[in-house]
Every structure is written in C-alpha cells, then in structure tokens.
Structure 1
Amino acid sequence: MVYVSSTTSPKSVIIIMLDTLMDKPLQRALKEERIPAFTYFLEQGKYFSNVVAPFPTMSVNVESTLLTGHYSDQHGVPSLVWYNNEENRIINYGTHIMDMMKLGLSKSMYDALYRLNNEHLNTKVKTIHEELHEQGKQSASINPLVHRGKTPHYLKIPRFIRYFVPIDKQIETFTSAKFVYGRLSKLSSLKKYSRLWNKYGFNNNFSVQEFTQLVHNNEIPDFSLVYLPDHDKNVHKNGPMDVKGIKDMDQNLQTILDSFPTWEEALKNHIWILIGDNGQSHVNKDRRQAIVDVRKLLLPLKITKLRKGVQKDDQVVLANNLRSCLIYSLNTNDVPLNTIVEKLKEDDRLEIIAWKMNDWIYVTSANNKGSFQFKENGEMKDEYNQTWVLDGDPSILDLRIQEDHIYFGEFPDALKRLHSTLHSHQGDFVVTSVKPGYEFSGEVTPSHPGGASHGGFHKNDSLIPMVVTGTESMPDSLRIVDFKNWILNLIK
C-alpha cells in the first residue's frame, strides 16, 4: 500500500524512546561520526539537553511517569525491583533471569507480563492510551514494558518458554489499539530474528520493523510510543561515552524515515519527539571499590534470601536497582529505620540516604553528622513552583537557597522525586543512591565495573536529551512528569 499523507487532520505524535540516549555522547557522535538521521532531526527541530527523568531512574518508572503524567507516589510503580508489603514478596520485572528464577520464574514473568500494567500501575490514574481511547482516538505501543490502555489483547507465550515455565499459553492484557510486545504480540508477519532472545522481538530492529509496518499500511495512529532498547547494554558494557550504539540507533531512525515517501514528508505531517529514558554514570574498573554490597553494610541483620522468600526471622528486605537500593525494615520495633541509616552512613560511596517519618522526609549522607528534612506545602518555592518546608542543612541535597526560592544542583527536582519515591508504596523503608563511579550488588543482579549503570539520583542518571520537530508548543517544564498533558494537547 502506498503511504498517503494527511493535510487536513491534526498531526499525529510519534515518540521514539531511545534507551540511554545521553547528551555528551550524542554531541561526540555528531562531531566524530556520520549520523544523518539524528543530524536531520536536529536541523529541523528544537534540542533540549536536560529533561528530568523520575527516580529511581529505571525504565518501568520512566514509562509509567510519561504515560500517566504522575510520579510514582500516584502511579504506584516504584521501580524495577521493590517489595510488595501486602503480598509479602519481592517484585522484580526483569533485572536478570537468575534473580527471577530465584523468586519463582512463573510468578516473576506474570508480574512483568500482566500485573505491572493491570494491577501495579494505579488504575485510578489514566494513561495517554486510555484517555485517547475515551476521546475516540487511536494509539500505538511498540515494545515498552508499560502500555496500559483500553483495548484487550492477548500475549501469546511461545512454546519454548512454556516448556520450562508453568505459565498460561495466552495472557489477556489491556493496552493501546495498535500493540507490539515482542513476538508475544506483533503486527507484522515478517520473521527477521536472530539470536535466541532477539528472536522474541525485544530489540531495536523488531521495534522498527513493526512501526514501519504501520507506516506502509497507512495506519499511523494519533499517538505512537516506539521503544528502542538496545543501546542500554552498549553503555552498561562500554561506558557512558559509547557512540557505537548511537550509530546503530541512527540506522534505525534512517529506516523509519525511509519508510515514508521522503524524510521531509515524514517530518511535515507528524510531530516527532526523540527522547532518552535515563542516563548512566560510569562505574570504576576496580570491582572491589566500585561494587557496594549492602548486605555487608547491614551485618548482622538477617536479610531475606531471594529463593526462600520472606521468612519468620528475617529483619530486612533489599530491592536493588543498580545504583539505588530500597531497604525495608520488616518490623521497625525490631529494626528501626535509624538503625539502617546509621549502618549505611559508614560507607562514603553512598551519596544520599533518605527515609520518611510522619509528614517529613529525612535525608543524610555518608560520614555526615548533620541531616536535612523537608515536607510539602511550605513557603519555599522550587524551580517547578512546588512549595516546601525545609529544615537542616540543604547542602546535603546540593540545594541553593535564595530568599524563598530553591534551586537544584547535582540532583534535579530533588525534593519532589525523593518525596514521590518514599510515598510510592506501603512499607517502612530507606532509599539510598551511590555516587558516580559506584553500583550496588545483589545476590545475582549484574554489575558493570569498567562500564556504566543507572538507577541513581545523580544528574548523570537523571538528565536526558530530547529533540522535538513539527510544533512550537512545549510542556510546562522539562520534566517527563509534565509531558502527558502536553502530548494530549498536541493531539487535539
């Protein structure tokens, strides 16, 4: 079918989410490499280098925030790994196959394939897909983990997986009208697969193949979110300044643009938003120094083992999210949060340590005798017009105070992001993040000495670039949490 452009209807919005796209390596690639697609988008659009991602800086949290227009205190997906107090178990949407096997592979797969979107993502907040459906408009979700909408689809579990994992052949989920989730739910009949995991479709080439199918069939909906995941592993392995993955992503973007009659027509008839999901910080080469083992810091407290699950005499549960970690006390009479905090403060590789008590959020850092506390609805106003009551040493969060205004330094939107994380789900817990150069270790979760990692609170993990073409409109602020209303207004 020949592509037909529309000159009368409103432009559709196409978001290409480029995993781990960061400003500095992109600028390097523009100077040193030939990346014609990125160059073309930049020439035709506006570029922003410092969009703020939610914390912890993990994809499920980022996608949930983008689609709902809320931080995790409202959308309810705290991070990639967290402890569900109601079910008394650790939720893991996919750090490593061994982590998931220890937790129970069928249960972990069901968490990722069904519960994430249909139970854990707060049903009281609407996603972009849901709102557009209610307006009689269509949307597409091409490979992001978070995709809740109003249209029922079936995830078809391959026989190879069902041979090893006791899981239903089909899982019903509700998502966008056009929906791709690897080979579990696809649009095209093409079979361009390679290695074992890649053949299940969770890779850049498959995302591009499926979206260009919409282009060729004249089925581009009012809104499309297309996720290209591959660059993440390049940066984990090679470090933040890796440009090979950027060159590969440029090839993907060229393929998408080439599916239109001309590149000019592609940009003329659609609003394009190219955006990263999180940054990454370098991890030092010396594993002994780079990897922070929280289990050792918390000795002699008894920590839940993944394979055993929470036992009667366990005191602490760990939810490791690479450069951040959620640490839960199972009984604060037995292990007060202050006990956990004091143990963590012994390691100067930890950058921030935070916990909530009543209405206040308390923050300290390693080897820091002072503390800082804050709560909502005060007379102090930050860069995003959020108001706070502050007490203590604001330098712990690298805050600059001028009269009644708060300005952020190394930790973008520090107050709201911490406040949201600590109100994102039930339980008594401490959240901590390590400095650039370091990463937390778990029982199995992969570590990346000599490479890079994310999940942290630092601006390296938190600031991402964005290119926008086809509109002069901008969101209220350069935070992912503020993009939903902007996107919906673009589609009106």
Structure 2
Amino acid sequence: MKKIILILLINAALLAGCQTRPPNMHQLHTQSERTPSSKPVILLMADSIMDKPLQEAIRNGQAPAFEFLITHGRYYPDVVSSFPTMSVTVDSTLLTGTHPDQHRIPGLVWFNAGEQRVINYGTGLREVIKQGPNQVLTDSLLHLNNRHLNPDIRTIHEQLADHGKESASINALIYSGNTKHKLVLPDSVASLSPLPSELETQGPKLLSLGVLSQHNPANQWNTFVWQSYGINNKFSAEELKMMIKENRLTDLNVVYFPDNDLIVHRKGPETLKGIREMDQQLQEILNAYGSWEESLKQAIWIVMGDSGQAVIGADRNKSVIPLKERLGAYRIADQNPPAAGQDQMVLCVNERMAYVYLLTPDLSFEDVAEQLRQDDRMDVIAWKENDGVRVRAGGSEKTLHYNVNGTYVDTYNQKWSLQGDHDLLDITVSEGDNKIQYGSYPDALQRLYSSLNSHEGRYLVITAKPGYEFIGDGSPTHVGGGGHGSLHKDDSLVPLIVTGTDLLPHSLRLVDMKPWLLQLLNVKND
C-alpha cells in the first residue's frame, strides 16, 4: 500500500496530460554525531513480504542477497504486525512504538466524528474520485503526518533528533520528525489542485519521497508517471546507494520497498516475482560497499515486512463481501458529501477489515452484529461494551467478552479478563496458571482492543475470513490475488532478518521495534 499517494498523482497527470517539473532536489546532510566506530542502522521495509515465498525463493536460488543476510545473521519468520494490517497504521506503530489507541491512525479509511467526514488516504481511484482528489491529497500529504498522527507521541525520528542523532526516511509514508521540509508537487498535479505547489511538512534530517522530495539527481529517471512518480524499489535503492557511496548515511536509515505489495495483490501470496525483483535491488545496495562482506562490517542490517496477505478467491460472487447489501436495511451515508442528518451508518472498508459506524443512538451494536453474523464469510465482529470488548463471529452463536487488567496473562505479559467462548479468537488458556496462548490471531486481544479505542465514535470492527475481502463504495478488490487488513495470521505475520548485532527486541512484535532500534543507537527510550 505504499503507492497510495501516487495513485492520485498518476490520475491527475493522466487527466492533465502535462509534463512534471524538475524533481525537488535537496542537498544531503552529512551526519555528524555518529563516531567512526559506531555502525549506522539500515532498516529496509519490504511491503507484503512473507516467510513462505521468501524461503521458496531462497531454496530456488532466486534470492541470493536475502540468503546472504540470513546466513550471516538471524531470521525470525513470524513477527506480529499492527492491526488493522494497513500500511499507514503499521508504519505509525513502527515509528511510535505504540498501538493505534495511542498513535491515532486507525486505518487507511476511517470516519472522523469531529469533522463528520470520511478520511481516505488513497485506497482506490474510484473512491478517491468520489470523495474528491483535493481532499485526499490534503489528508495524505499534509494531515497524515502533521495533524492526524498523535503529536503527543514521539516518533523515533523525533527522539533521535532530541538526543543529537540523525535519521533518514526514504519512500516511507509515515515520517514525522523535527526538521522542516518542502514537498514539491509535479506541475501535472499542482495545475489541478488548489494546494500550493510547495507543501511544508516535518520529517527527519533527510526526507526522500519520490518526485516530491528526492536527493539523488540520477533518480529523476525513476520518477515518471508510469513509475509511480518515484514510489518504487528502484528509486529507494538509488537514494540509499548514493548515501552509502558518499558516506552520508545517518544513524538510522528507514527505506521502503513498495513494489511487492501490488504484485502480491494481483498474483496472490505465493508469487515470487516481487521477491526476485527486490533481491536484485538488494544486491546492488550491498555492492555499493565494494563487497557484500564489507557491507556487514559497516552497518547493522534489518530487513522486514510490514504485513502479510491472505489469498482472495477467484470467484468474485463468492470472495467479495458487499457490505452495503448485507446492511441494506440501514440508511448508509455516501463518503462524499459528509454524513447527513438522515444517515444511520458509515462504512469504511480497509480491504479485509472494515469499520462500521453507527451514527444514531437508536441503532444497537447487537442488532447490527446480528445482521453481519448471518454471513459465514465474516470472521471477527467486535465492538466496545462496558469498557471492554464484545466479540461475535460470522455463522456462529458464540460470544466472548474481555477487558484489560484481569487474571489471565498472555505471551506478552498483558493481563486480561475473559468471559465466554475463547475459541472465537482461537485462544487457549492453560488451566492452573491462566496463561493465554494465541493461535490464528496473533496478539489478538491487544490489537483488537487498540483498534476499538483508536478514535472517537460508535463503531464495530469486522474482518473477513481468509479467501474473502470486503467491498465498499468504490473500494478496490483483489479477486484471484491477495489482500490484507485483517487480524488473521495470514495478514499479520511478517519475517525479520537481523545482521550485525546480538541485541534483540523485547518481543517479536512490530510495536516493540522502536525501543529496540533506540537501544541499538544507544538512545534512551524516554
């Protein structure tokens, strides 16, 4: 999902038929705080990379760079992502070390109760056109990092700067930091938008985001319309290679490789194409040091995914769940204009997850849940109840209620109270010591609880079973391919490769990556 902003830019360019202005070039800042004996940390995020296809590519000899890093480091196949498993939420968790109940980015699409409108950072072209490209551009380019991301929660970029360290962000959509930057819109977009051609934003010392903000002059050949204006693997690799060759790496360098996501969406989770292509870029990056062995001496390497993807069935009539039809008894608001007084409900679809907002007090969660559970393609159906969480499931009469601070303790030393059918979330409780073990829904209690407390409003969280995805008012579908968003392990588990350090995160969860990264850089997590 790293290309969501560029979907808008591509559309605008095609409509305008214009050439883009010269790319926004900045002078790279040489990091100054890191001593020659300390290693920079290079964190490569590979969108939708998963353990099974990665291992197959290595066995087939199609991923020698991945294999090299694994052989000379450590490999963990099942790091738990954030929830919903959508890029903006996942990235916010990575950079803040918090769940959505604290960082306040609940998904790619959500309903802002205070403004009475849907926030859409750019899911699909039809939704964007319906809502209005200008509003989506404003939300994604300005509000996402500078307003919607909780300003009271410090990102890793901000904390490093506070301690005299420098950091870089290449092609990451979440990048909030202490340094002012300008994002320069291409002429083809600026000519169609009331937004100023230059937008001010806050980021780390070095911010690179496709054609909007680039540093390597040679990268202008990787920023054309058909190359997603620079939000692509080649652009990311070229920016990083220049930093390596010119000895301009910062203390922490976060680099996103987005291409695999769209490939998996089209071809399904078993495809190796995106892994092969990223491995080629990774080989070039390692070669920038002169030899692969030298690259290990000069940096700490971390390569990981952001979310997985589940298979979506090839039969559209079965694999796509039309929420408007399922909830047809209610008056459902259009995404644009904002919800009106007569509307009862707003639907915000995030692929295999959705928020269902109840706008009128006469609607009960139980009644809506009863409508939803009639469809056995539904997986988890949940809402807030008595300060806790009520869980139902499609095609089932079972129910579960849970809350924080109970007598049950899970794998991550989080305490919970539980009443009802544990198997709704595939939870096993050991008799005698009340230990919770998770099955098909990793860290389910915390991740679901945080999503239900991530923003204001009365809403249900629903997910689809593997093989299925939701469709809303113009949202994209991935029939015969792959999709993510849900709580299920298919969407939630990602691999992690660590080379060059013996330090490990507190637990194998994305939410625990930030304090670990700070520890690697000798910075206190205050």
Structure 1 length normalisation: TM-score? 0.97
Determine which of 196, 215, 228 is the counterpart of 1:168. 196
1:66 aligns to 2:94 (yes or no): yes
Secondary structure, aligned partner of 2:222: coil
* Separation in structure 2 between the aligned mates of residue 95 and residue 106 of structure 1, nearest angstrom: 14
Aligned to 2:382: 354
Aligned to 1:389: 417
Return 5+ residue gaps in structure 1 as ranges.
none
Aligned to 2:455: 425
* Separation in structure 2 between the aligned mates of residue 199 and residue 375 of structure 1, nearest angstrom: 44
Corresponding letter in the other structure for 1:477:
S
Determine which of 209, 215, 223 is the counterpart of 2:252. 223
For residues 24-63 of structure 1, give each alpha carbon's deviation from its aligned partner in whole angstroms, at most 9, with x where no partner exists: 0111111224321111111111000000001110111111
Corresponding letter in the other structure for 2:371:
K
Question: Contact (CA 8 Å) 1:326, 1:430: kept in 2 or not?
Answer: yes
Aligned to 1:332: 361
Corresponding letter in the other structure for 2:348:
A
* Separation in structure 2 between the aligned mates of residue 194 and residue 127 of structure 1, nearest angstrom: 28
1:478 aligns to 2:492 (yes or no): no
Corresponding letter in the other structure for 2:514:
K
Shift of residue 237 of structure 1?
0.7
Shift of residue 305 of structure 1?
1.1
* Separation in structure 2 between the aligned mates of residue 150 and residue 12 of structure 1, nearest angstrom: 20
Aligned to 1:283: 312
> Which shifted more, 186-195 or 380-389?
186-195
Question: Contact (CA 8 Å) 1:84, 1:426: kept in 2 or not?
Answer: yes
* Separation in structure 2 between the aligned mates of residue 238 and residue 425 of structure 1, nearest angstrom: 34
Secondary structure, aligned partner of 1:118: helix
> Quick one: structure 1 residues 233 and 167, their matched pair in 2 at CA, closer, same or farther if it must change by over 3 Å?
same
Determine which of 148, 156, 159 is the counterpart of 2:184. 156
Secondary structure, aligned partner of 2:66: helix
Shift of residue 263 of structure 1?
1.3
* Separation in structure 1 between the aligned mates of residue 367 and residue 328 of structure 2, nearest angstrom: 11
Determine which of 58, 71, 80 is the counterpart of 1:43. 71
* Separation in structure 2 between the aligned mates of residue 407 and residue 297 of structure 1, nearest angstrom: 33
Aligned to 2:469: 439
Return 5+ residue gaps in structure 2 as ranges.
1-27
Q: Quick one: percent identity of the two aligned structures?
A: 43
1:371 aligns to 2:399 (yes or no): yes
Shift of residue 100 of structure 1?
1.6
Shift of residue 309 of structure 1?
2.5
Secondary structure, aligned partner of 2:321: strand
Question: Contact (CA 8 Å) 1:281, 1:454: kept in 2 or not?
Answer: yes
1:273 aligns to 2:273 (yes or no): no
Aligned to 2:484: 454
* Separation in structure 1 between the aligned mates of residue 124 and residue 318 of structure 2, nearest angstrom: 23
Secondary structure, aligned partner of 1:62: helix
Shift of residue 338 of structure 1?
1.7
* Separation in structure 2 between the aligned mates of residue 350 and residue 268 of structure 1, nearest angstrom: 49
Aligned pairs for 1:250-261 within 5 A: 250-261=279-290
* Separation in structure 2 between the aligned mates of residue 79 and residue 63 of structure 1, nearest angstrom: 11
Shift of residue 202 of structure 1?
0.8
Question: Contact (CA 8 Å) 2:102, 2:454: kept in 1 or not?
Answer: yes
Question: Contact (CA 8 Å) 2:166, 2:204: kept in 1 or not?
Answer: yes
Corresponding letter in the other structure for 1:120:
H
Corresponding letter in the other structure for 1:431:
V
Corresponding letter in the other structure for 2:292:
W
Shift of residue 367 of structure 1?
2.2
Shift of residue 114 of structure 1?
1.1
Regions of 4+ moved over 4 Å: none
Aligned to 1:80: 108
Question: Contact (CA 8 Å) 1:7, 1:269: kept in 2 or not?
Answer: no
Shift of residue 7 of structure 1?
8.0
Corresponding letter in the other structure for 1:318:
L
* Separation in structure 2 between the aligned mates of residue 151 and residue 241 of structure 1, nearest angstrom: 41
* Separation in structure 2 between the aligned mates of residue 349 and residue 366 of structure 1, nearest angstrom: 6
Shift of residue 227 of structure 1?
0.2
> Which shifted more, 205-214 or 229-238?
205-214
Aligned to 1:107: 135
Secondary structure, aligned partner of 2:397: coil
Aligned to 2:334: 305
Corresponding letter in the other structure for 1:14:
I
* Separation in structure 1 between the aligned mates of residue 364 and residue 253 of structure 2, nearest angstrom: 46
Aligned pairs for 1:184-263 within 5 A: 184-190=212-218, 191-193=220-222, 195-198=224-227, 200-263=229-292
1:467 aligns to 2:497 (yes or no): yes
Determine which of 432, 435, 451 is the counterpart of 1:405. 435
Determine which of 321, 337, 344 is the counterpart of 1:292. 321
Question: Contact (CA 8 Å) 2:85, 2:487: kept in 1 or not?
Answer: yes
Question: Contact (CA 8 Å) 2:223, 2:235: kept in 1 or not?
Answer: no
* Separation in structure 2 between the aligned mates of residue 214 and residue 271 of structure 1, nearest angstrom: 15
Question: Contact (CA 8 Å) 2:309, 2:490: kept in 1 or not?
Answer: yes
* Separation in structure 2 between the aligned mates of residue 405 and residue 417 of structure 1, nearest angstrom: 18
Corresponding letter in the other structure for 1:460:
D
Shift of residue 195 of structure 1?
5.0
Shift of residue 199 of structure 1?
5.4
> Which shifted more, 25-34 or 249-258?
25-34
